[in-house]
Amino acid sequence: MKNINIYYRKVKAAGQTIFYRESGNQGDPVILLLHGYPTSSHMFRNLIPILNTHYHVIAPDLPGFGFSTSPSREEFEYTFANLTHVMQDFIDVMKLNKFALYVFDYGAPTGFRLMLNNPGRITGFISQNGNAYLEGLGAAWDPVKKYWASNSQEDRNALRGFVKQEELRFQYFTGVNNSELIAPETYTLDQYFLDQPESDEKQLDLIGDYKNNIALYPSFQEYFRKHQLPALILWGNKDPYFLPAGAAAYQKDLPSATIRFYDTGHFALETHVTEIGEEILEFYAKIR
């Protein structure tokens, strides 16, 4: 099979410089890949070569993540509404008039906001451990919920472990049967960006703002019910943050959704990229 290049590019969007990976033929259907916390488009490095034979694949780094600009907190309010504002301008600048979405973790509330704002542009979506239901929130969220309730500095400080190496390794390795499948450059690169000046405060701002995503769950669910988009729900079933019940819940609003579970943790692409890639190709072959 012919090797297709992956290009590493930058574009201005809403005043930010957004790094993105792009591959595939311009005339093919577009899939926009949105990463989660605390990673970047790097998480899609192995998936893109599977998809780019049939699709035009675009994977940006959200502002404050990866190789996109990370403006100071004085210049940029780190909320999911603002991440979406930048991504909205990104899809406009890129002229993505019709596209499917792959959302993961933080990419889910960002992507679902884009879906609300652009109902005529979305052809379908894939959610890989991207939550939209209360049933999906595991006990690992309890310290975060405590901070949401109090908004105290003490409870904010209690969450600082989320940006430390121990927590990062917990996210990557929990639920993984064979740790030798986890490439060390993944968590090493993530930690590099987390260790940049002010990064901890930016990430704590986003963790604090996540409660506003949950407030939008009913709106996301109403969108699902109204539009009945083709949906593929892929889930690492040992994810400590987003439980399998969150995957199953999609069928309440999208009864035709395809749901697949994998015996792994949060970062399912690290252990099951071949299976996930094949599932996506089979799914979209039916609807393209």
31: left (phi over 0), alpha (psi -120 to 50) or beta: beta
Would you state the pLDDT for residue 241? 94
Contact (CB, 8 A) for 69 and 31: no
Cα distances (Å, whole numbers) of residue 185 to 169, 176, 190:
12, 17, 8
Active site residues: 266
**Tokens, residue 172:** 């990557």
**Tokens, residue 156:** 């904010």
Q: Which residues contact 71 (CB under 8 A, 6 or more apart)?
A: 16, 63, 64
H helical segments located in the chain: 48-51, 80-93, 107-117, 142-150, 153-157, 165-173, 184-194, 199-215, 217-227, 244-248, 250-253, 268-285
Would you state the pLDDT for residue 286? 77
Other Cβ atoms closer than 10 A to 188: 11
pLDDT tens string for the chain (288 positions)?
567 999 999 999 999 999 999 999 999 999 999 999 999 999 999 999 999 999 999 999 999 999 999 999 999 999 999 999 999 999 999 999 999 999 999 999 999 999 999 999 999 999 999 999 999 998 989 999 999 999 999 999 999 987 788 889 999 999 999 999 999 999 999 999 999 999 999 999 999 999 999 999 999 999 999 999 999 999 999 999 999 999 999 999 999 999 999 999 999 999 999 999 999 999 988 776
| DSSP tag of 196 | S
Domains assigned to the chain: 6-285 (3.40.50.1820)
Would you state the pLDDT for residue 1? 54
Cα distances (Å, whole numbers) of residue 218 to 110, 134, 152, 214:
15, 10, 27, 8
Would you state the pLDDT for residue 117? 97
Q: Which residues contact 114 (CB under 8 A, 6 or more apart)?
A: 84, 87, 88, 91, 101, 122
Q: How far apart are CA 33 and CA 273, in angstroms?
A: 14
Name beta bridge partners: 58.
22, 32
